C-alpha cells in the first residue's frame, strides 16, 4: 500500500498555498508534505540553499527547518498568478516575522501547483531573499 | 496595431528555453523579449534583485543587464521539467561563465513557459545564486 496518505484534497491552487503557509507556521511536517505532490520530480529551493529534488529530500529539509527553535509567521503579498487547467504558478512576496516579531525579513517565492488525482499539490517552491530596496521600489518613499 | 511582433514561434518549452539562453549570451534584447509572453503578469527575478512584473519592467531589466560590459555563457544542467498541455515548469542549474572564462558562478533557475497563440513563451524566470556546496551535495565527494 506504500506510505500512508492523508485525506486532504485541495480544490484550488489557492487552497494548497494557504495550507502550505499554515503548515510552515505550525511547523507540522505531515501537514506540509500533504501540500506537496508525492513525486520524484518535485523541486524545493529554500533561500540561499541548494536545490532539493524528490519527495524524500524535500521532506527531510522541512524536518530540519521545523526542528529549529524559532517559529515564523507569514504575510503573503502581491500575488501574481498564472493558472491553466492542470498547472498554476503563483509568485508572491513573503513578509516573514520571527515568532516574537523582533526580526523581520522578506523573500520572493515562486510556487507551482499541479492538479493531481489527489487535488492541487505543490510541485515547485523556489524562495530567495528579497533585496532591501524591493519594497521601496514598489511603494515609493514612505509617507 | 500595437507594438511590432516577431514571427518567432517556439513549438516546445525546450525551444523557448534554448532561445532564452541564446539571447542572453548574445545580449540581444529583441531576441530575449521574443521568448517572453507579451503580458502584464510576467514575472522576472534576477539573482539578488527585486521582483519585476510586466513586460516593460522585464524588458528594461534586460536592457540594463545587456548594457554592461561583460558577456556570459551558460551551461544548463540537471533540468527537471513538469509539463502539461498549457504550462511547463523547468528547474535548472545554470553554470555561468564570464566571457573570458576567468569567473564562474552557478545559479538556480525556475523557468515557466506558457503555450500562447504565438507558441510557447516564458511567463516566469526566477533565478538565485546557488550555494557553493550545491554541486558537492549532488555529486558527493570528488573522486
pLDDT in tens, A55-89: 999 999 999 999 988 889 999 999 999 999 999 99
Assess contact for A11 and A88: CB atoms under 8 A: no
In angstroms, the separation between the Cα of residue A65 and the nearest Cα of chain B is 17
Q: Give yes or no for residue B68 having a pLDDT over 70.
A: yes
Residues of B in contact with A108 (CB under 8 A): 45, 50-51, 126
- The neighbouring-strand residues paired with B120 are B115
pLDDT band at B4 (very low <50, low <70, confident <90, very high): low
Give the closest residue to B5 by CA, choosing from B41, B37, B53, B46. Answer: B37
Give the closest residue to A78 by CA, choosing from A15, A138, A123. Answer: A138
* pTM metric for this prediction: 0.89
Q: Residue A102: what pLDDT?
A: 73
Q: Give yes or no for residue B81 having a pLDDT over 80.
A: yes
Q: Residue A6: what pLDDT?
A: 54
Minimum-distance CB partner of A133 among B50, B81, B133: B50
pLDDT band at A95 (very low <50, low <70, confident <90, very high): very high
Measured distance between the N- and C-terminal CA atoms of chain B, rounded to whole angstroms: 60
Rounded distance, CA A107 to CA A97, Å? 11
DSSP B59-84: HHHHHHHHHSS--EEEEEEEEEEEE-
Partner-chain contact B138 A50, CB within 8 Å: yes
Higher pLDDT: B49 or A102? It is B49
pLDDT digits (tens, 9 = 90+) for A36-56: 999 999 999 999 999 999 999
pLDDT band at B1 (very low <50, low <70, confident <90, very high): very low
Mean pLDDT of B86-97: 97
Is the minimum CB–CB distance between B73 and chain A shorter than 8 Å?
no
Q: How much is the mean pLDDT over chain B?
A: 89
Mutation pick from A53, A128, A129, A133 vs chain B, by most beta carbons of B within 10 Å, is: A128
Alpha helix (H) residue ranges in chain A: 13-26, 29-33, 55-67, 134-139
- The neighbouring-strand residues paired with B126 are B45, B110
In chain B, pLDDT over 70 holds for what percent of residues?
A: 87
Look up the ipTM and state it.
0.88
Minimum-distance CB partner of A51 among B49, B84, B91: B91
Assess contact for B82 and B89: CB atoms under 8 A: yes
Minimum-distance CB partner of B110 among A47, A93, A110: A110
In chain B, pLDDT over 90 holds for what percent of residues?
A: 78
Alpha-carbon distance values, B18 to A8, B14, B22, B124 (Å): 38, 6, 6, 15
Strand order in the sheet with A119-129: A51-53, A43-45, A119-129, A104-116, A87-98, A72-83
Amino acid at each position: 500500500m506504500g506510505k500512508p496518505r492523508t485525506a486532504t484534497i485541495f480544490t484550488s491552487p489557492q487552497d494548497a498555498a494557504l495550507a502550505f503557509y499554515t503548515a510552515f507556521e505550525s511547523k507540522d511536517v505531515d501537514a506540509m508534505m500533504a501540500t506537496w505532490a508525492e513525486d520524484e520530480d518535485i523541486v524545493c529551493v529554500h533561500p540561499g540553499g541548494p536545490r532539493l529534488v524528490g519527495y524524500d529530500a524535500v521532506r527531510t529539509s522541512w524536518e530540519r527547518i521545523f526542528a529549529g527553535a524559532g517559529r515564523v509567521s507569514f504575510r503573503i503579498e502581491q500575488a501574481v498568478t498564472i493558472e491553466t487547467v492542470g498547472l498554476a504558478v503563483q509568485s508572491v512576496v513573503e513578509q516573514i516575522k520571527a515568532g516574537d516579531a523582533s526580526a523581520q525579513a522578506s523573500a520572493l517565492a515562486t510556487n507551482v501547483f499541479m492538479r493531481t488525482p489527489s487535488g492541487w499539490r505543490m510541485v515547485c517552491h523556489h524562495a530567495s531573499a528579497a533585496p532591501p530596496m524591493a519594497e521601496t521600489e514598489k511603494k515609493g518613499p514612505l509617507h
